[in-house]
Structure 1
Amino acid sequence: MDIGVLLPTGTAQWAEGDDPRDLITLARTAEHLGFTSLFVNDSLITPRIEALTMLAALASTTETATLGTGALLPFLRRPVQAAQSLASIDLLSGGRLTLAVGAGYPGRFGRPFYALSEVPWPRRFARLDETVALWRALWQGADSFHGEFQDFPDLPPALRPCRPAGPPIWLAGATPTARARTGRLYDGWLPYPPDPADYATGLHDIHRAAAAAGRPPEAVTPALFVTVRIDGADENTAHGQRATDDYARATYGMPLPELAKIQAVVAGPAEQVTERLNQYVAAGARHLVIRPAALNLPAQREQMERAAALIPDLHP
């Protein structure tokens, strides 16, 4: 099992007086608490520390944790330049980079991104797959690339990442077509289904798609993105639910019951949270990326400490 944490790089998770530089301290604390990965999110429509800038800062200030994106939106960046940035982070971190990527989805967190990026919305999934193929080609020394969306007959020598094949690339998506593409093309899967049973079904589909493509099931790392709020000994469940609802409204502009319909959210006493997370583990998840539901950096640290105490009890 790998247990990671999503760092609160968005200003919606900061309170007045919070120092963004404390994100470095928070990351180092998470590593020392036993979290094996540190993830960051990507956005242009909500204020936050830019994802690759944050990972570059962590490359030299952390030691062992995987540095990940949950999820990177490649269409926000020029693909060749992005490949260089990603290879740079992988080199500076000693080969600790893992990329979860996504194409966006309809609504507040989809089409507005594309308007800002000046990239067409149609065929966004094919564009994502082709961009990933271009990155991998660059990292392995290709001198040309010919695709539907990008054509480079004469590529200059590219910076090579630490690992010959480049960093692992996961897909963040849970639709049937996303699961099929994960099994065929990607190194991991990072969804957030509200029901562990749906996770098990999705992972079964991925293994079937991988087998059809001649890949073993272990070629795809089964991960999970999950929002977590753990009640303290002096807090009642109602207090935790209110705090999680405040987080949902601040982060997504919707109440907790609506968010819980579309994303994995686990809140309550430590025993209850452990039991629910282990249901996802039983469904096949082997890398949990926990997002603490807290709205200032000290509270984020407190939630991280509570989550770290659960790590020994999360196991297949």
Structure 2
Amino acid sequence: MKFGIMASHQYPHGDDLRKRLDELFSTVELAAELGYDSVWTINHFQSNLATPQPISMTASLIPRSGTMTLGTGILILPLFHPAHIAEEFATLDHLSGGRVVLGVGAGYRDNEFAAFGVDPATRFRRFDESIRLIRALWSGETVEHDGEFYPLSGGTIGIRPLTPGGPPIWIGAGGRTAVRRAARLGDAWYAPGNSPNPGYLPKHVAVYNEALAEYGKDPASVERPIGVELYCAPTTQQAVETALPYARTEYATYAEYPALRWQRDRFDELVRHTLLLGSPEFLIERIGALRELGFNHVIFRPGWLGMPVEKIHASLRLFAAEVFPAFR
């Protein structure tokens, strides 16, 4: 079992961004020292939180992350030209020594699509075409692509990736159709662990496995990442008392977007079913259940809006000391 952290670089607009980034960098350096396996950056535009952009953030974490895998969790692919992303991630692949993953999703915030003049009704077709073109460019061969959105004739990439064929592509997806798309186009399905429906994960793992087999891929050979919310303290009561107020604030902020209003209305269900706030023993039990479903890479946000960095570091240290040994 691998464990990674989300570099949650989202802050209130009035915060001292330089100070917050220094805290983030210290958190990533600590995670590398403690033996965490990966670190992931965030992508949003015109957000209600100050959100530094993921390609720049990923590059800034390369010298601070030891041997950790670095990736975007996730990049909103329909808002970028695929030739741009192919070049950027080929560059990151070299800068990181082959440690980078391109994590992508189709997006959901209407204001982001409006800002880029992208019709959200086209996002899935753009998404599909972008991945196919990125992979073609990463081959290093001359590309003839008669696409709906990104036609390219005689195109070649300026720098070939260090990794043959390019970095892995992980696809964030929630619904049944999107999960099947992840199986068809991606190297991994980056599963969301925040559904308040306890039946969601078993059902969609089955959908993913069936689709992998349908597309001729071995279900046993793919990485199985899942994103969760997690905080570790000596007792579950301490974990809840420490983390829940900050998590509630962050989820209320997300819920300002129409597509996420359900997170405010159903926050108590999220707490019961998906927020992993607890003692090492509690977390070992819950992560063990995820392992039983087939997941082998747990990625979590180590803190929420306003949480002091000392509390974040305490959780990371305790989790590494007490939970890692149960799964490694």
TM-score, normalised to structure 2, is: 0.85
In the alignment, which residue of structure 2 is the partner of 1:90? Answer: 93
What CA distance in whole angstroms lies between the structure 1 residues aligned with 2:299 and 2:158?
A: 31
Structure 1 gap ranges (5+): none
In the alignment, which residue of structure 1 is the partner of 2:171? Answer: 171
In the alignment, which residue of structure 1 is the partner of 2:29? Answer: 28
What CA distance in whole angstroms lies between the structure 2 residues aligned with 1:236 and 1:102?
A: 31
Question: 2:141 is matched by which residue type in structure 1?
Answer: A
Q: 1:203·1:222 contact (CA, 8 Å) conserved in 2?
A: no
Structure 1 residues 126-161: Cα deviation after superposition (integer angstroms, max 9, x where no partner)? 211211111111110232222222101121443111
Question: 1:259 Cα shift?
Answer: 7.6
In the alignment, which residue of structure 1 is the partner of 2:207? Answer: 205
In the alignment, which residue of structure 2 is the partner of 1:298? Answer: 310
For residue 68 of structure 1, give the secondary structure of its aligned residue in structure 2: strand
In the alignment, which residue of structure 1 is the partner of 2:190? Answer: 190
Question: 2:124 is matched by which residue type in structure 1?
Answer: F
- Between stretches 198-207 and 88-97, larger displacement belongs to 198-207
In the alignment, which residue of structure 2 is the partner of 1:222? Answer: 224
Structure 2 gap ranges (5+): 257-262
User: In 2 relative to 1, CA 183–91 (structure 1 residues): closer, same or farther, beyond 3 Å?
Assistant: same
What CA distance in whole angstroms lies between the structure 2 residues aligned with 1:301 and 1:135?
A: 37
What CA distance in whole angstroms lies between the structure 2 residues aligned with 1:232 and 1:207?
A: 37
Alignment of 1:308 onto 2:320: yes
What CA distance in whole angstroms lies between the structure 2 residues aligned with 1:13 and 1:270?
A: 34
Question: 1:117 is matched by which residue type in structure 2?
Answer: F
What CA distance in whole angstroms lies between the structure 2 residues aligned with 1:235 and 1:3?
A: 22
Question: 1:257 Cα shift?
Answer: 4.2
What CA distance in whole angstroms lies between the structure 2 residues aligned with 1:151 and 1:86?
A: 20
Alignment of 1:139 onto 2:142: no
Question: 1:312 is matched by which residue type in structure 2?
Answer: P
TM-score, normalised to structure 1, is: 0.88
Question: 1:40 Cα shift?
Answer: 1.0
Question: 1:200 Cα shift?
Answer: 2.7
Q: 2:77·2:104 contact (CA, 8 Å) conserved in 1?
A: yes
Structure 1 residues 139-185: Cα deviation after superposition (integer angstroms, max 9, x where no partner)? 10232222222101121443111111111111101211112112222
User: In 2 relative to 1, CA 83–247 (structure 1 residues): closer, same or farther, beyond 3 Å?
Assistant: same
User: In 2 relative to 1, CA 237–80 (structure 1 residues): closer, same or farther, beyond 3 Å?
Assistant: closer
What CA distance in whole angstroms lies between the structure 2 residues aligned with 1:227 and 1:57?
A: 24
Alignment of 1:286 onto 2:310: no
User: In 2 relative to 1, CA 176–50 (structure 1 residues): closer, same or farther, beyond 3 Å?
Assistant: same
What CA distance in whole angstroms lies between the structure 2 residues aligned with 1:186 and 1:210?
A: 10
Q: 1:186·1:220 contact (CA, 8 Å) conserved in 2?
A: no
In the alignment, which residue of structure 2 is the partner of 1:266? Answer: 276
Q: How many residues align?
A: 311
In the alignment, which residue of structure 1 is the partner of 2:285? Answer: 275
For residue 73 of structure 2, give the secondary structure of its aligned residue in structure 1: strand
State the identity as a percent: 26
Q: 2:104·2:169 contact (CA, 8 Å) conserved in 1?
A: yes
In the alignment, which residue of structure 1 is the partner of 2:259? Answer: none
What CA distance in whole angstroms lies between the structure 1 residues aligned with 2:300 and 2:79?
A: 25
Cα RMSD after superposing both structures: 2.6
